[in-house]
A = this chain, B = another copy of it.
Amino acid sequence: MPRRCKYCGKPAIIHLRYANLSLCEEHFKQYYENRIRKILEKHKVRGDILVAVSGGKDSMSLLYALKRLSLMMDINPYAFHINLGIGEYSEMSESIVRSFSRDIRITLILYNIKEELGFTIPEIVMSTKRPPCAVCGIIKRWIINKVAYESGFEYVATGHNIDDASTYFLKALMTQDIYSILRGQHEFLQPKMEVRLVGRIRPQFYLSERENMLYAQLNNIPVVERPCPYSASAPIHRYKAAWDTLLDINPISQINLTRTLLRLGRMINIKEPELRACKICGYPTESRDSICAFCRLLRKTTTNR
């Protein structure tokens, strides 16, 4: 017997096992946008929000949902895209984000790292021994915070989903990485404008890739289909694949594992690291020598060249 939508009885297009919930197209969209709305309301995020958009299904769905929600909530989303200079992949990504932002009438801020910083991701990855995704992550985090701060935004929204958060924790558990567990992954981090740190919100924190993908499909949201050429070799993918097995055993296990480790982290209640201004760029860092991860990376690669 086909499943029917819990709210209207029409044939369901998705069954969310973690919530034991079947939904038709219309009610799935509503459910999805409601989940995003609630997380913004919970953390009282209002006004201008800079949405970091890579062109993938997660961030493109986020941008669209925030645009829709802006019609009924006091939020005002802007798109922000970084062209990483990863050949055709980056060209396609920029082009999709450009046309989509125009179509849905969202102002887009573009940042081309070759133009702004003088190097592409492939170039800097070549001149360092660190894994590409780690390097790219450091650079993107720094750029997003800096651009948001300089443009007067109090909040940045990113498209992290529950697959990301739960895999981060699973990998940390399986490698005895206590530091990463205590540091955690959070749906929200308060702005600290006095140290030039913009607030961060992850409205899809408890939504899955599958839900983001479906939302994109139902709304005809264009997405970059091909993955980043570097990501295939990232070890995190092997851990991510484990969820096929674990979700089959318990469909809510991604959410449960994430919430459990966040609760344990709060119980441990370690002191928040003190933030200092980086001696080189002026943006915040926890590092004792007052050089942030971004500037350390740049300094190293300059020496290596």
List chain A positions with a Cβ less than 8 A from chain B. Answer: 172-178, 181, 238-239, 241-242, 244-246, 249-250, 253, 256-257, 259-261, 263-264, 267-268
Given contacts A239-B249, A268-B264, contact A257 B178 (CB under 8 A): no
Q: How far is the CA of A264 from the CA of B249 in the complex (A)?
A: 25
Copies of this chain held together in the complex: 2
Return A81 CB to nearest CB of chain B, in Å.
33
Main secondary structure of the interface of A (DSSP, over half): helix
The residues of B that contact A263 with a CB separation of less than 8 Å are: 178
Interchain CB contact under 8 A, A174 and B257: yes
Return A228 CB to nearest CB of chain B, in Å.
21
Q: Select the residue from A173, A181, A249, A263 with max chain B CB neighbours within 10 A.
A: A173
Interchain CB contact under 8 A, A173 and B261: yes
Q: How far is the CA of A267 from the CA of B178 in the complex (A)?
A: 11
Interchain CB contact under 8 A, A176 and B256: yes
Given contacts A250-B175, A256-B173, A260-B178, contact A242 B239 (CB under 8 A): no
Q: How far is the CA of A148 from the CA of B77 in the complex (A)?
A: 68
Return A76 CB to nearest CB of chain B, in Å.
36
